[in-house]
């Protein structure tokens, strides 16, 4: 039935089969394995630490952060402060919490109306997050204005418009292909005139390595500040929880060009743990503001470090 037009389909190498069976042993959840690991073991030995390293890395926490945690544990083991494996979990939790809480700081007081710019790479969930965010603000009896500044991607404006309708929010738009800074300018002026409490700005997804697109964000910032002093007051980086170590680079570059003030971690309803935010908090001191946990309008929750760590440790 199936013909191959361009050549034959290759045989699956046996190596793959072997690797496959190895990967299948992977169990969801940090602590699933931690528990397995700790079961029946009282001593902390090199094997256990190795296993622990793998466990932390599998949550995308990253090699550096993982090694730092292990260093701490080794130290304590050497000083006999941690005698048994059961104390390990608490130690790890404590350390993670420390990292996450260190980056927490309250949003600065801002001039009205606050402009919230939402940035991120392609497909991270910016538009959906804006829909949910608008819903949240409206719930607080705030008047929200949406700004459709993703003028690049096909049907991005329409997508935001659907969210505007769902939430009953006004939206400022221009034609596809328009200068995003111009749309932003319009939106901020409209926000002033209509006395909106919040302006939420959608931006086109962009990979942080594209210098010209990142420069566009800088320009948008400058434009915003011309209409409302200190705007944008909040710049939220939307980060997909499935993102691996590149997330750190995303946070770094977006912060450089657009002054990220907080992170929204999306798609946490899958099996990905989003551990990269720990590395981000640790290295860049950027707080996580919200987490996205589904496609429904109220599936956006304020970030709670303790719960987040709990989720890292749950299956």
Partner 1 sequence: MFDNLSEKLQRVFKNLRGEGRLTAENMEAALREIRVALLEADVNFRVVKQLIENIKQKAMGEEVLTALSPSQQVVKIVNEELIKILGSHESRLRFANDPPTVMLIVGLQGSGKTTTTAKLARWLSRNGHRPEMVSVDVYRPAAREQLRVLARDLNLPVYPGAAEETTPADLARSARKDAATSGRDVLLVDTAGRLHIDDQLMTELQELKEQLSPVEILFVADAMTGQDAVKSAEEFHRRLGITGVVLTKMDGDARGGAALSIRHVTGQPLKFVGVGEKPDALEPFHPDRVASRILGMGDVLSFIEKAEELIDKKKAVEMQRKLIENEFTLEDFRDQIRQLKKLGPLESVLSMMPKVGMLKDLKNVKVDEKEIVHVVAIIDSMTPQERANHMIINGARRRRIAKGSGTSVQEVNQLLKQYAQARKMMKSFSGGFLGKKLGKMKLPMSFEM
Residues 32-91, interacting with partner 1 (CB under 8 A): 54, 57-60, 62-63
**For the chain, what's the residue count?**
315
**Can residue 174 be called a binding residue for partner 1 (CB under 8 A)?**
no
User: Among 112, 189, 271, 285, which residue sits at the site for partner 1 (rule: CB under 8 A)?
Assistant: 271
Binding mask 275-314 toward partner 1 (x if CB under 8 A, else -) reads xx------------------x-------------------
**Can residue 124 be called a binding residue for partner 1 (CB under 8 A)?**
yes
**Can residue 209 be called a binding residue for partner 1 (CB under 8 A)?**
yes
**Can residue 121 be called a binding residue for partner 1 (CB under 8 A)?**
yes
**Can residue 28 be called a binding residue for partner 1 (CB under 8 A)?**
yes
Q: Which of 315, 269, 313 is nearest to 56 (CA)?
A: 313
Cis amide leading into 303 (omega within 30): no
- What 3-state class would DSSP assign to 315? coil
How many CA within 13 A on the CB side of residue 301? 11
Shortest distance in whole angstroms from residue 2 CB to partner 1: 5
Residues near partner 1 (CB under 8 A), total:
72
**Can residue 230 be called a binding residue for partner 1 (CB under 8 A)?**
no
From 41-49, 77-85, 93-101, 115-123, give the range in contact with partner 1 by CB under 8 A: 115-123
* Sign of the C-alpha dihedral computed for residues 26, 29, 32 and 34 taken in this order: positive
Buried b (16+ CB within 10 A) or exposed e, 171-190: bbbbeeebebbebbbbbbeb
- Give the nearer residue to partner 1 in terms of CB position, either 125 or 305: 125
- Give the nearer residue to partner 1 in terms of CB position, either 11 or 141: 11
Separation of alpha carbons 243 and 276, rounded Å = 7
**Can residue 112 be called a binding residue for partner 1 (CB under 8 A)?**
no
Phi and psi, residue 81, nearest 5°: -85, -30
């Amino acid at each position: 039935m199936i013909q191959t037009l361009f050549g034959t389909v290759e045989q699956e190498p046996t190596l793959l089969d072997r690797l496959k069976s190895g990967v299948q042993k992977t169990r969801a959840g940090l602590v699933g394995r931690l528990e397995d690991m700790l079961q029946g073991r009282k001593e902390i030995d090199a094997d256990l630490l190795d296993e622990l390293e793998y466990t932390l890395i599998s949550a995308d926490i990253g090699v550096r952060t993982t090694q730092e945690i292990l260093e701490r544990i080794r130290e304590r083991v050497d000083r006999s402060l941690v005698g048994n494996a059961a104390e390990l979990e608490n130690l790890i939790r404590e350390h993670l919490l420390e990292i996450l809480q260190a980056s927490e700081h309250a949003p600065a007081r801002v001039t009205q109306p606050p402009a919230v710019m939402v940035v991120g790479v392609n497909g991270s969930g910016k538009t959906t997050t804006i829909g949910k965010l608008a819903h949240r603000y409206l719930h607080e009896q705030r008047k929200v204005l949406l700004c459709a500044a993703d003028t690049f991607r096909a049907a991005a404006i329409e997508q935001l418009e659907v969210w505007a309708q769902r939430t009953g929010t006004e939206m400022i738009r221009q034609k596809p292909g328009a200068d995003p800074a111009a749309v932003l300018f319009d939106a901020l002026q409209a926000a002033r005139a209509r006395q909106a409490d919040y302006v939420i700005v959608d931006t086109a997804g962009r990979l942080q390595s594209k210098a010209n697109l990142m420069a566009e964000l800088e320009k948008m910032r400058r434009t915003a500040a011309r209409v409302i002093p200190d705007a944008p007051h909040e710049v939220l980086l939307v980060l997909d929880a499935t993102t691996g170590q590149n997330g750190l680079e995303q946070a770094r570059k977006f912060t450089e060009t657009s002054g990220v003030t907080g992170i929204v971690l999306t798609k946490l309803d899958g099996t990905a743990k989003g551990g990269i935010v720990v590395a981000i908090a640790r290295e860049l001191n950027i707080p996580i503001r919200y987490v996205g946990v589904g496609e429904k309008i109220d599936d956006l929750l304020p970030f709670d470090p303790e719960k987040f760590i709990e989720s890292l440790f749950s299956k």
